[in-house]
Amino acid sequence: MYGTYLRRELVGRKRQTIIVAAGLAIAIALVIVVNALAGGVKDAQSAALASVYGVGTDLTVSGAQAQPGQGEGGRRSFEFGQNGGTTGSDGSTTLSQSRLVADARRGTLPSSTLSTVTGVSGVSAAAAALSLNNVTFDGQLPQAPGSGTSAGGEGRADRQPGEGGGGFGGGSFDVDSFTVLGIQPADDTVGPLSATTLSSGRLLADGDAGSHVAVLDATYASSKGLAVGGTVEVGGTAMQIVGIVASASSSADTAANVYIPLDVAQSLAGVGDVISTIYVQAASAADISGVQSALAAAVPDATVSSQSQLATTVSGSLASASSLIENLGTWLSIIVLVVAVALAVLLTISGVSRRTREFGTLKAIGWSNRRVVGQVAGESVVQGLIGGVAGVVIGLAGVIAVNVIRPTVAAGGAGGPGGGFRRETVRAASEIVLSAPLSVGIVVAAVALAIAGGLVAGAFGGWRAARLSPAEALRSVA
């Protein structure tokens, strides 16, 4: 009988049922969409920072920024002696030369710095690397006007990478460059190779020290038509390609185009027993700040940076977007939910007032206050349940729309100091696709909120109905 009476009352008061359910549905849908968007922004931020935290590195120790006038200077020069090229029958000289040079913008560190770093308390692992640029001059110079010798006697080319060639009498040349990273073989748990996956071949091994072998970035290898088993020229020396690697994250590039053994890189570049960067892994996240301070004291001439500092330049607008959605969305959801519940309470109390004769008569024929309260609360709970289900449907539709549209969020930031590896990680995280992941817990919580709203409305309405007396019903009939 209870169910029959409940169904009859809900059907007989369709307008009130629709209004209460619609208000709760909008509130519940908003809760679902806002929570899903907040989760999506957090996932996007994690993706943006994957290129920073995804290298098994908590801290980097690098050479200090070079002062103006220090270092090798900004222009790369090529010196050609009398036998620096091949002279053709027309008197022109074909020249080709590669140079492997360190980044002139940053200083280097003695290789012994690695031992100092690993000896610092709180350091669980460290790996050294030498960042270099391979610059190749390749072209043809014609015979010098008014002379019987070609232009290739004592010549000099100091074009920057990317500049076009040219010369007297139609001569031309090209300058090409790519990045090279000298690393310690078999060091793939911390540092740049820990953020890569092996596409083909193998990584550098302990036995590769002193060998002319190389591992290539997949994108660079594809652009140059290179593969495992072939060779790549580094610093004028042919290096056998033993492996191809790709970034473990689709939102980031690898640290360099070519990886070679550290001792080979030092020898080819002629820089001596030096390194440019040490990648450091702390024993625990709680130790990072303390380890950074200890490293700064142990290596005062170096620059010690934490990846969290770099992360602040990467996260940029994502952090603001996440905070905005969480704060604004949470308060908006609360306000709409409160309004919806208040509307349900008012409509329920108003409905009870219009049903004075009905409830007074029911009490006159023997209904107890508990039964009257149960009737009103049951109607409100069903209205809340209907609103909850409708809200879940609307919320799911909103989440699906976001996932189909896949809006892009900018996560920009300037690169700051550091080698090419750090600049690439910032640039690679400039655009992140936003999604709206949905958890079952949020859906269950949303339905529970709707039912709770119905219970609140039913409690107030039932309290009002329980106060009615049979005498009021009789006066209403009269």
| 288-318 residue pLDDT tens | 888 889 999 999 888 888 766 555 544 455 5
**Percent of the chain clearing pLDDT 90 (strictly above):** 18
Summarised one tens digit per residue, pLDDT across range 381-433 is: 888 888 889 988 998 998 898 888 877 755 544 444 344 444 444 444 445 66
The DSSP code for 70 is -
CA dihedral 252, 255, 256, 259 (to 10 degrees): -130
Of 46-50, 139-143, 173-177, 448-452, which range is least confident? 46-50
**Percent of the chain clearing pLDDT 70 (strictly above):** 67
**Contact 468/359 with Cβ under 8 angstroms?**
yes
Burial 186-215, CB ≥16 within 10 A → b, else e: ebbebbbbbbbeeebbebbeeebeebebbb
The reported pLDDT for the residue numbered 428 is 42
Distance separating alpha carbons of residues 20 and 383, to the nearest angstrom:
7
If one counts every other C-beta atom within 10 angstroms of the C-beta of residue 89, the result is 5
Task: Look at 33 and 116; give whichever has higher pLDDT.
Answer: 116
The reported pLDDT for the residue numbered 102 is 82
Confidence category of residue 452, pLDDT binned at 50, 70, 90: confident
- Burial class of residue 358, CB neighbours in 10 A (0-12, 13-18, 19+): middle
**Contact 242/199 with Cβ under 8 angstroms?**
no
What is the mean predicted confidence (pLDDT) over 313-326? 56
Distance separating alpha carbons of residues 44 and 335, to the nearest angstrom:
27
Distance separating alpha carbons of residues 320 and 50, to the nearest angstrom:
18
Confidence category of residue 357, pLDDT binned at 50, 70, 90: confident
The reported pLDDT for the residue numbered 456 is 84
What mean pLDDT, rounded, does the chain reach?
A: 74
Distance separating alpha carbons of residues 382 and 430, to the nearest angstrom:
48
The reported pLDDT for the residue numbered 113 is 93
The reported pLDDT for the residue numbered 65 is 63
What is the mean predicted confidence (pLDDT) over 105-111? 82
What type of residue is 286? A
What is the mean predicted confidence (pLDDT) over 214-236? 93
Q: Is the pLDDT of residue 239 over 90?
A: yes
**First CA to last CA distance, the chain:** 29
CA dihedral 63, 65, 69, 73 (to 10 degrees): 70
The reported pLDDT for the residue numbered 429 is 44
Confidence category of residue 111, pLDDT binned at 50, 70, 90: very high
Confidence category of residue 249, pLDDT binned at 50, 70, 90: low
The reported pLDDT for the residue numbered 423 is 43
Q: Is the pLDDT of residue 278 over 60?
A: yes
Structure tokens at 175: 């300058």
Helix (H, G, I), strand (E, B) or coil at 351: helix
Summarised one tens digit per residue, pLDDT across range 137-166 is: 777 766 655 555 444 444 444 444 444 444
Nearest Cα residue to 135 out of 190, 81, 96: 96
Task: Look at 195 and 86; give whichever has higher pLDDT.
Answer: 195
Structure tokens at 111: 């290789």
What is the mean predicted confidence (pLDDT) over 126-143? 81
- Largest Cα separation within the chain, whole Å, is 131
The reported pLDDT for the residue numbered 265 is 93
Gyration radius from the chain CA atoms: 36
Distance separating alpha carbons of residues 145 and 55, to the nearest angstrom:
55
Residue 263: alpha-carbon gap to chain centroid: 34
Distance separating alpha carbons of residues 424 and 421, to the nearest angstrom:
5
Of 1-10, 19-28, 32-41, 276-285, which range is least confident? 1-10
The reported pLDDT for the residue numbered 383 is 85
CA dihedral 262, 268, 269, 272 (to 10 degrees): 70
Confidence category of residue 62, pLDDT binned at 50, 70, 90: confident
User: pTM for the full model?
Assistant: 0.52
The reported pLDDT for the residue numbered 57 is 62
Task: Look at 86 and 240; give whichever has higher pLDDT.
Answer: 240
Structure tokens at 318: 């994502």
